[in-house]
Amino acid sequence: MLVTNVKSRPQYQQLRFDASGRFHLFIGQGEGGLAFQRVRPELPDSAEISVIYTGESLTGCDLSEEVSGCGWRQLTLLPTQVDALQLLDEVLAKSVMGIRLYVAGSEGFIGVAEQVAARYNLQSDELQREHQGSSARRVYCVHCQTSRDDVTTNIVVCRGCGRHLLVRDHYSRRLAAFMGVMADAEAPGCLPELCEVYE
């Protein structure tokens, strides 16, 4: 089976305000906005908080209005995930010790945000992750090193090299992706039945 008990898949939690931090940075995408709406009432008024959100998502779930409606002192809305992650990088470069980072959204988004955070040596007690929305997988082609993060099927065509990839249950934290390996390497053209498995 492909989807049972993925041991290497990261464990997510529900975002909770961490009072031991001095600065709190929330970054989210798509359905991640639901996590922000839920956590907003538990945030103390005195806390220094900033929020980065993008409505861009595979599922078309743009919660920009709802997130804005929560009343943040510092909110940046951006059109794409790439913009949001770019801003995350810039903010972390200027930040000082005492920050807590809260990430909410799809697995692919969380994975890339964690990679950015790792460049600044943010460790597990400075970083929380909440998975919301699609469980589409970010898949890394082991043949041509191209990734795509909208994979909901067991077999996918690589955008880099055109191979049919079988999506393995092995998740690499370093690459923030599941491994995709050529599905018909043994017998070219002979592919298992395609099915939707990770909506």
Partner 1 sequence: MKTVDSIEVVVTAIEEVTPLIKRFTLRQIAGGGLPPFSGGCHVTVVMRGGERTFRNPYSLLSSPRNLDSYEIAVRRDDQGRGGSLFMHESVTVGTRLEISHPINLFPLSKLARKQILIAGGVGITPILAMIDDLSAGPISWELHYSMRGHEHAFFGNWLTGQHGDRVRLYDTSAGQRIDFATLVARQPLGTHLYVCGPGPMIADALASARAAGWPESHLHVEQFAPPPAGEAFEVHLATSGKTVQVSAEQSLLEALEAAGIEAPYLCRSGACGRCELNVVELDGELLHNDHWLTAEDRLSGTKIMPCVSRSKCRRLVLDW
**23 contributes a contact to partner 1 by CB under 8 A:** yes
Closest distance of CB 72 from partner 1, Å: 20
Closest distance of CB 80 from partner 1, Å: 24
**96 contributes a contact to partner 1 by CB under 8 A:** yes
Which H or E run contains 94? helix 81-94
| DSSP letters spanning 32-45 | HHHHHHHHGGGS-T
| Residues 68 and 77 sit within 8 Å (Cβ to Cβ) | yes
By CB under 8 A, which span of 52-60, 82-90, 94-102, 107-115 interacts with partner 1?
94-102
**Spatial separation of the C-alpha atoms in residues 112 and 25, rounded to whole Å:** 16
**168 contributes a contact to partner 1 by CB under 8 A:** no
Hey, what are 91's tokens? 């903010």
Q: Which is nearer to partner 1, 21 or 55 (CB)?
A: 21
By CB under 8 A, which span of 79-87, 96-104, 151-159, 161-169 interacts with partner 1?
96-104
Mention every residue, 6+ apart, whose C-beta is less than 8 A from residue 185: none
Question: Collapsing DSSP states into helix, strand and coil, what is residue 162?
Answer: coil
**92 contributes a contact to partner 1 by CB under 8 A:** yes
**21 contributes a contact to partner 1 by CB under 8 A:** yes
Closest distance of CB 21 from partner 1, Å: 5
**DSSP 8-state class, residue 9:** S
- The binding site for partner 1 (CB under 8 A) comprises 20-23, 92, 95-100, 120-126
